[in-house]
Every structure is written in structure tokens, then in C-alpha cells.
Amino acid sequence: MNDNINNRGLWRSKIGFIAAASGSAIGLGNIWRFPYLTGENGGAAFVFIYMFFVLLIGFPVMLAEVSIGRNTQRNPVGAFKKLAPKTHWKYVGILGVISGFAILSFYSVVAGYALGYIFETLFGAFRNVQTAQQTKLIFGEFASNPISSLLCLSLFLFVNGIIVYKGVEEGIERWSKTLMPILLFLLIFLVIRSLTLKGSLEGLNFYMKPDFSKVTGSTFMNALGQAFFSLSLGMGTMITYGSYLSKKDNLVTSVSYVCLFDTLIAFIAGLAIFPALFAMGLAPNEGPDLVFVVIPSIFSKIPGGTYFGTAFFILLVIAALTSTISLLEVVVAYIIEERGWSRKRATVGASIISFLLAIPSALSGGIVKFFTKLPYYGGDFLSFMSTVFGSYALSIGCLFIAVFVGWRWGVHRASQEIANGNPKFKSRVLWHFLIKFVSPIAVLLIILNLIKSSFF
């Protein structure tokens, strides 16, 4: 520890936290992962269950994380050390920092693909394609080229590093405030285009009219896991962002806005994708390739599609960037405060390590056989990282955070923290019940289900 702690930044305004935390939450999770999971899990019913979980589990856990952050004014590791000194709880923070590195690595590879696709689309790679099969080939070729993959990855990590290096108010807050409205504007533009396509009604039905007969146990688990991933919970992102909040801020309203915006953007992303998808006669269950294979083939058949497509991938990169800023910030805040490095050194060091960690994921698109089909696991390295850290590690992190606030730190002390800036805190009793019982039990169920579906 050193006096960097005394020089910690603070959000300049209430909007600063909401913009940055929404920026963290809104990302590839909303625009790429949410639509493809919705497609695979039967459409509207999944959307309905997902929203239920955001409200019942995501919201209380986010409030817990933010209150830990503001109370301790520390990075995740420092926060647990402060609230439970000389215990093993700090390992929950350490798991968060490790998850931050790991998620940043594979996430940046996908973001790098999006970055590359801005240029692919703009320079007309999809202008003459007729079928989704052709776009699949183009993506396969693109993802298996190690030079372009690594180049896009490094460019993305470089920009990300520069923003984080600028620090809390200068970098993160200003960028999020500018980028988020552009994102919303572009998405609404895409929705309008999508809904005016011939045959879009069928897609709208699929997305809005629930068919509960397709719901299984794994639908629930996918929805719950997606809620954590999308809300950036379980690795201390919200502890870190909450640590830059002032005592005057109302945590309940700030967290409500973040959950609302995140859910809204995911919902709007689906509204942009499904009507167009059905209009083009494509199947909704395309899987993780959805964005890179299906979207370009949709745009290739729309007048002006080159520009719509380019706009879409710019949007995807913007959304990813405001999420990776938060991933890197967790790691950087930890290195500065616990290891005493300067912000510059911490940012450069963490970015280089993330780049090295990302190389196997970047090569998992085809060139190196070992990384395309891992022994035992069977899948490629990127999806391995996504499963282990995006699902397992975040779920374990959320479980421990809920147990910590519910039972170790205590809901009463946490509530006192929340009452700063919100003296009445009306839903106190409900929140106590959710964080002590509902969240830990539900998260335990996800973990058990993940283990069951992976090994049996």
C-alpha cells in the first residue's frame, strides 16, 4: 500500500458512475452473447426469464458489490482485506483480478474481430455475397489469419490501455459519457432498419411471444449466467467502480439505472437482430458465430448494407471497449494499490500480460491445431477461457460476494453504507432477504449445473 490510495479518483458527477458502470455492463455480452443465447434458448421465454433474474439476483448482487466498493474505497483485494482483515476472504478479490486478466484476454480477441470487421465491411468484403454460407467462409478465413487477428487484438488493447492510463475522470468517465449515447443512437437506427424489412414480423413474434414449452433447466441456468456476465458481476468490477463514488450518491438509484440500461440495450440489440434475421430466412440458433456470420449476410442484402454493417461493427467495438476498460481497471487498481506501482507502469504491464494471455485465444481460429481443439476439452481455447472464466469464475465470485455481504460483513453494516446518500433505503428488508438467501442459493444452483453439464 502507498499514498496512491489518497490520490484515488472520484467520479465527477452522479452521471459519471452511471455512464461508466453502464459502459462496463453493456458490451459483447449484450450485443453478441444475449441475442445468440436467446436464439438458442427459444426466444421470448428466455428473454422473460433473463429479465426476471436481472431483477431478482443481478440487482441485489450489484448493490452489494457497489456498497463494498464505496465503503472501503479500495480495489477488490484491498476491499476484502479491509473488511475482513487477516482472513482468506482476500482470495475472492484475487480470483476477481485473475478473472479480469483472463476475461480481458479472450474478450479482446472477439473485440479485435469486430474491429477488423469494420474494415472488412467498409471495404466491401460482403458486397457480393448471396448466402450465409459465404459469410461463414469469409469469417473462417478472417479468424484463422494469425497476422490480422493479432494485429486487431493489439490495436484494441492499445486503445484500451490509453483510456485506462488517463485515469478515472480523465479517461473512463469522459469516454463513457461520449460513447454511450452514440451506441444507443446507432442501435435505435438499426432497429428501425430491421423492423422495416419485409418479413420481419415473424422475428418479432419469436422475440416477443414467449413459448414456454421450450424451456428446460439449462435455459434457467443460461439466463442466470448471462445475467452475471452482462451486468459485470462476480469479479469486483462494481467494487472498483463503486470505490470511486462519493458518500452523497444514492447507490440504489445508480444501480437501478445501470441494470435498466444494460437490460434495455440487450433488449434493443435483440430487436435489431431477430426481425432482420427472420426477414433473411435464417435460423435463430446460429450460435456464437451469429454476429460475424449472420449479420454481414443480412447487411449484404440491404440497400446501403455496407454502411449499416460498418456502423454496426463500430458500435460493437465501442460497446466492447467500455467493458474492457472496466476489466483492465480492476487489474490496474489492484496493482497500483496493493503493489505500489504507478498508474502508467501498471497499465502498460497489465496490457502486455493480457496480450500474451490472449495469443492462444487469437490463434484458436484455425492456424494452430492445438488451440482449435484442446485435449480433453474438445473445443477451442477461446471458448474454453469463456467457459472457465466467463461462467465458472464469475459465478463462484458472485456466490462468495453474496455470502460475504449477507453473512460475514453483514447486511446491517452494508445497509448503513447504502443509507449514505439514501437515508430511507426503503427496500432494506427485501434486499437483506435476497442477498442472504435467494442470491447464494440461486448461484450455487448455477455452479452445480455447470459442473453437471460439463462432466456428466
User: Which residues of the shown chain bind ligand PHE in the complex (CB under 6 A)?
Assistant: 24-25, 27-30, 103, 229-230, 232, 235, 237, 323, 326-327
Contact status, residue 160 vs residue 108, Cβ threshold 8 Å? yes
**What are 295's three cell numbers?**
449479420
User: Can you say how many angstroms the Cα of residue 434 is from the centroid of all Cα atoms in its chain?
Assistant: 23
How many residues make up the chain in this entry? Answer: 456
Give min distance, CB of 251 to ligand PHE, in A: 19
| Gap between the Cα atoms of 280 and 294, Å rounded | 9
**Least distance to ligand PHE from the beta carbon of 176, Å?**
13
Q: How far is the CB of 23 from ligand PHE (least distance, A)?
A: 9
Q: Which is nearer to ligand PHE, 132 or 187 (CB)?
A: 187
Which distant-in-sequence residues (6+ apart) come within 8 Å of 292 by Cβ? 113, 117, 135, 139, 142, 143
Whether the Cβ atoms of residue 398 and residue 234 lie closer than 8 Å to each other:
yes
| Residue closest to ligand PHE when measured from CB atoms | 29
What residues contact 196, with CB distance under 8 A and at least 6 apart? none
Q: What are phi and psi of 302, to 5 degrees?
A: -105, 140
**CB of 30 vs ligand PHE, minimal distance in Å:** 5
User: Is 28 or 132 the residue whose CB approaches ligand PHE more closely?
Assistant: 28
Contact 117, 139 (CB under 8 A): no
- CA 337 from chain center: how many Å? 24
Residue placing its CB nearer to ligand PHE in the complex, 317 or 327: 327
**Amino acid (1-letter code) at residue 247:** K
CB of 223 to ligand PHE, least distance (A): 14
- Shortest distance (Å) from residue 388 CB to ligand PHE: 14
Q: Which is nearer to ligand PHE, 25 or 335 (CB)?
A: 25
